[in-house]
Structure 1
């Protein structure tokens, strides 16, 4: 009888221990707000694709996470969206700023103790726990150095920028500094294309009327490069040797892979899957965790993803046919 009672006590203890461990293993529920600009350009459509994939992947393995996802067509709507997310009691906020003018509303979330992760275009001051982005300096430097080498370090270049924001400033300053190293090279002009194909097409039409000799065109992304290339093709001119964009649009990578467009021979990575990566950063940070094997108590304040030069030799590794 005593043995039976003892075994029952042991069984109760074991079951209690299992229950305790099971409860401990259940993560604290999280509500995460995610705010991005609307898909007004091809790159942003790809970024949104990866953001949604990142959220879906996390929810598939952790049912305690709720995501509140919003897109904004302008900066005013994004500011209103973020304020609304704050009122809904979010634990973490992921933001791809429309531009730096949303800094003040992001600061409200940050000061309220919400774990804030900012991406890409950045803020005018540090109002976040983590800033995650691609390497804008490396992105532009690797591309412009490749272009200079292809031109044998001499020739005329025109630039088409993005929109005024910290990353655009970094990119523009980097290419100007790179080209300035080569006395035989000259930047004829630089205008903002706002990341838009149609805007870049119009700028390129103007460049073609204004300048009689252009050796290469550098644009801040592939959407604008495709617009500039279209304008050149329609002009009937034959002086331009290279068009270089960036961010690995699948159609551009396909051109490089199969050699179908001799004017487009390289690209530089600026992976939109940062929008999936950032979801994991927000989840870990909001729960006070870090990556396995990371000895520090908190995640880094800045996470910068590497930029890689893409040519025919390695283009297949950067081709994602399922992207928009």
Structure 2
């Protein structure tokens, strides 16, 4: 299991927000994130906007420019614009893809811009000063352990992957590592659903056509789980007893609380609000002329029917 340099609870970060005197450094922070291609990133865009509004109001020496990109090429171009047009002196970037964005981010970093990478990491970490994410290791290992227990250590499962990023690789590798301890569980296939419900629907249709029996699906994301469930229902398949998503979309958590779909038995807390906290701790550190720890990881605990109410936020955009 990958060593985590530093683990910080969100509550602790919130408590620390008012601490310390600021050294009135002028901070022009560029924030580059994916566009709302699915529910999770839609909420990321929302929370980034909230961070800009709240933090610029609180700190007069802080300017935040948020840019959203629908693909890797657009994000790479926007990074250059943030530097040449917006004159940023700090960057926080949520890469659309890992490999495709590593060189564009490195070019910014090489010009002396303090660079924080969030969530989907880069292929070369020398292109960053700090990394912030929810806990992708726990995200997948907790899911795998829960599914193995629910299946009593036996069954046929299929996997839907996200987008080709370090995050996806880390999740799938750790999921597979756990499943090695459960030889009675067979992983029949793993395909990319791009963290998108429509793409996941198509992948699941393919699985349903090729595999006459499936016990469970690791959708690895609640948006993909929605597409998976739609495909299962449309095919009128009754063999699939468990669909495990992730990221605690409010609709999924409500389903878990109410018990309205027996296939939804657990989830993983992986809130898109982490982008707000990432922007905040970056801005506050740079205003004081300080650097962040090399790695900051927010916890991703298991959500079950027993504790789901504490993770249900009906007013959340996701």
Q: Output the TM-score relative to the length of structure 2.
A: 0.89
Change (3 A) 1:159 1:30: same
1:122-201 equivalences in 2 (<5 Å):
122-126=121-125, 127-201=127-201
The answer on 1:243 being equivalent to 2:243 is: yes
Q: 1:125 Cα shift?
A: 1.0
The answer on 1:90 being equivalent to 2:83 is: no
Q: 1:28 Cα shift?
A: 2.4
The residue aligned with 2:73 is 76
Deviation string, structure 1 residues 187-228 (Cα, Å, up to 9, x no partner) = 111111011101111111111111111110101200001100
The answer (yes or no) to whether the contact 2:245–2:267 under 8 Å persists in 1 is yes
The residue aligned with 1:287 is 287
Say which of 64, 67, 71 aligns to 2:64: 67
Q: Output the TM-score relative to the length of structure 1.
A: 0.87
Structure 1: any 5+ residue segments left out of the alignment?
A: 1-23, 291-297
1:1-324 equivalences in 2 (<5 Å):
27-87=24-84, 88-100=86-98, 101-126=100-125, 127-289=127-289, 298-324=291-317
- The structure, 1 or 2, with the larger RCO (C-alpha pairs under 8 Å, 6+ apart) is 2
Q: Alignment partner of 1:307: what SS?
A: coil
For 1:285 and 1:110, the matched residues in 2 are separated by: 18
Q: 1:59 Cα shift?
A: 1.6
The answer (yes or no) to whether the contact 1:115–1:282 under 8 Å persists in 2 is no
For 2:158 and 2:277, the matched residues in 1 are separated by: 34
Larger radius of gyration: 1
Deviation string, structure 1 residues 123-149 (Cα, Å, up to 9, x no partner) = 111211110011111100001100110
The answer (yes or no) to whether the contact 2:48–2:66 under 8 Å persists in 1 is no
The answer (yes or no) to whether the contact 1:116–1:282 under 8 Å persists in 2 is no
Q: 1:320 Cα shift?
A: 2.0
For 1:182 and 1:25, the matched residues in 2 are separated by: 52
